[in-house]
Amino acid sequence: MSLVKLEYIWLDGYKPTQSLRSKTKIEKDFSGKLEDLPMWSFDGSSTEQAPGGSSDCLLKPVFVVNDPQRKNAYLVMCEVLNADGTPHVSNGRATIEDDDNDFWFGFEQEYFLWDPATNKPLGFPAGGYPGPQGPYYCSVGANNAYGREIVEEHLDVIIEAGLNVEGINAEVAAGQWEFQIFSKGAKQAGDQIWIARYLLERIGEKYGVAVNWHCKPLGALDWNGSGMHANFSNSLLRTAGSKEIFDKVCEAFRPVVKEHIDVYGADNHLRLTGKHETASIMDFSYGVSDRGASIRIPVMVPQKGWSGYLEDRRPNSAADPYKVAARIIKTVKSVG
Ligand code: ADP
Ligand code: MN
Ligand code: MN
Ligand code: MN
């Protein structure tokens, strides 16, 4: 017999941005299989998910990976259910309509590594600013790249956990980084982003470095904000073979700008200004290779005879990938 640590992870009920919560369950001889994980519960009155008088919320395991940083351990992503077993209102994952995993998502998660002492990104001197943007993107060297130790440890750990990470890069602002995760199946893509966020936060604890997911943590100054570009496709787009289908799918997004922005992360008006490689939050546009558009059609789409995927550039770094995916799927499916 061996004891196994199961870290049950869920999203709380805070608005407008939900945060990660987790607690450890010790079990005997866990098989490693999702279906062998028991339901669990927590005090929803401590997470803005239930009143104190009837506080129990349920945790339903939906995705499990190894936890490479703990002995005999697993990370268990959970959906939150009400006591009667129905999905809790905070449960974005339950709203995803992709049971056949036809939708593929690649999220580009940007974030700032943040010094809690200075309340500034790594690389920002206390009480001042580093040199202007330009040298930081994809940089190397102690003058320009800050926090690589954390980023590298995170990369190793998410690979070891079995997440489908596709790359990392230093971003445009000092102390800003990105990782990309791709999955066939919208729910699994969201699960992987959340587990990767969890591991980054936890690794940061060791270094005394926080992660700032806010989309514009430096306000209106001339520093890029953080996005979570959503690259997506379904079999329609992957096998389209015609510009008309791409135009039709893109046009389906035009009348539902508000519905999309509603789930694309808090404070996005601060980021989607029309500057810093963004489109204005009020506008809707799309174009081949256009990083100033709401939706970019990657240049390889026309090159491959109009088949492939689209990039919605509007979701921000603090958005819930479940809700982003659910809304994109709804809009794409509205195309007959
Ligand atoms: P960029 O920084 O140029 O916008 P990245 O290389 O950071 O692009 O991210 C592109 C993302 O697109 C990757 O995460 C990749 O997995 C994803 N992607 C590629 N092909 C598809 C596809 N057919 N469907 C969905 N996502 C895709
Ligand atoms: Mn990228
Ligand atoms: Mn980027
Ligand atoms: Mn991108």
Inter-axis angle of helices 321-333 and 186-207, to 10 degrees? 160
Contact 244 CB / ligand 1 (< 6 Å): no
Does the pLDDT value for residue 1 go beyond 80?
Answer: no
Confidence of residue 220 (pLDDT cuts 50, 70, 90): confident
Q: Which helix (H) or strand (E) holds 323?
A: helix 321-333
Tens-place pLDDT, residues 155-213 = 999 999 999 999 999 999 999 999 999 999 999 999 999 999 999 999 999 999 999 99
Confidence of residue 111 (pLDDT cuts 50, 70, 90): very high
Q: Which helix (H) or strand (E) holds 169?
A: strand 165-170
Does the pLDDT value for residue 73 go beyond 90?
Answer: yes
CB 329 within 8 A of CB 96: yes
* Mean pLDDT value of segment 82-95: 97
Ligand 1 geometric centre to CA of 37 (Å): 32
CATH architecture of 3-91: Roll (3.10)
147 Rama class: left (phi>0) / alpha (psi -120 to 50) / beta: left
Residues with Cβ within 8 Å of 19's Cβ and at least 6 positions away in sequence, in order, are: 11, 12
Which ligand sits nearest to residue 238's alpha carbon?
Answer: 1
Say whether 109 sits in a helix, a strand or coil.
Answer: strand
* Mean pLDDT value of segment 93-106: 98
CB 13 within 8 A of CB 46: no
Residues with Cβ within 8 Å of 283's Cβ and at least 6 positions away in sequence, in order, are: 274, 294
Separation of alpha carbons 272 and 260, rounded Å: 13
Average pLDDT over the chain, rounded to an integer: 97
Tens-place pLDDT, residues 183-193 = 999 999 999 99
Nearest CA to ligand 1 atom 13: 106
Tens-place pLDDT, residues 234-283 = 999 999 999 999 999 999 999 999 999 999 999 999 999 988 888 899 89
Confidence of residue 336 (pLDDT cuts 50, 70, 90): confident
| Best mutation site among 102, 104, 231 for ligand 1 pocket (most ligand atoms within 8 Å of CB) | 231
Separation of alpha carbons 154 and 68, rounded Å: 11
Contact 129 CB / ligand 1 (< 6 Å): no
Separation of alpha carbons 263 and 126, rounded Å: 34
Percent of the chain with pLDDT over 90: 95
Count the neighbouring beta carbons within 10 Å of the beta carbon of residue 231.
20
Tens-place pLDDT, residues 282-296 = 899 999 999 999 999
Does the pLDDT value for residue 141 go beyond 90?
Answer: yes
| Best mutation site among 108, 165, 183 for ligand 1 pocket (most ligand atoms within 8 Å of CB) | 108
Does the pLDDT value for residue 127 go beyond 90?
Answer: no
Contact 137 CB / ligand 1 (< 6 Å): no
**Minimal CA–CA distance to 190: which of 323, 289, 318?**
323
Percent of the chain with pLDDT over 70: 100
**Minimal CA–CA distance to 10: which of 165, 190, 189, 160?**
190
* Mean pLDDT value of segment 217-243: 96
Contact 139 CB / ligand 1 (< 6 Å): no
Q: Which residues pair with 178 in a beta bridge?
A: 110, 169
Does the pLDDT value for residue 126 go beyond 90?
Answer: no
**Which of the 8 DSSP states describes residue 125?**
P
| Best mutation site among 168, 182, 300 for ligand 1 pocket (most ligand atoms within 8 Å of CB) | 182
pTM for the complete prediction?
Answer: 0.98
Ligand 4 geometric centre to CA of 228 (Å): 8
Contact 110 CB / ligand 1 (< 6 Å): no
Judge whether 3-91 and 104-333 match in fold: no
- Residue range 104-333 forms a domain whose CATH class is alpha beta
Query: Could you tell me the residue ranges of all domains in the chain?
Result: 3-91, 104-333
Ligand 3 geometric centre to CA of 53 (Å): 45
What pLDDT, on the 0 to 100 scale, is given for residue 294?
A: 97
Separation of alpha carbons 322 and 325, rounded Å: 5
What pLDDT, on the 0 to 100 scale, is given for residue 278?
A: 87
Surface-to-core class of residue 223, CB atoms within 10 Å of its CB (0-12 exposed, 13-18 middle, 19+ buried): buried
CA dihedral 45, 47, 49, 54 (to 10 degrees): -20
Does the pLDDT value for residue 142 go beyond 90?
Answer: yes
Say whether 205 sits in a helix, a strand or coil.
Answer: helix
Confidence of residue 123 (pLDDT cuts 50, 70, 90): very high
Inter-axis angle of helices 243-253 and 321-333, to 10 degrees? 120
Separation of alpha carbons 132 and 113, rounded Å: 18
Separation of alpha carbons 291 and 289, rounded Å: 6
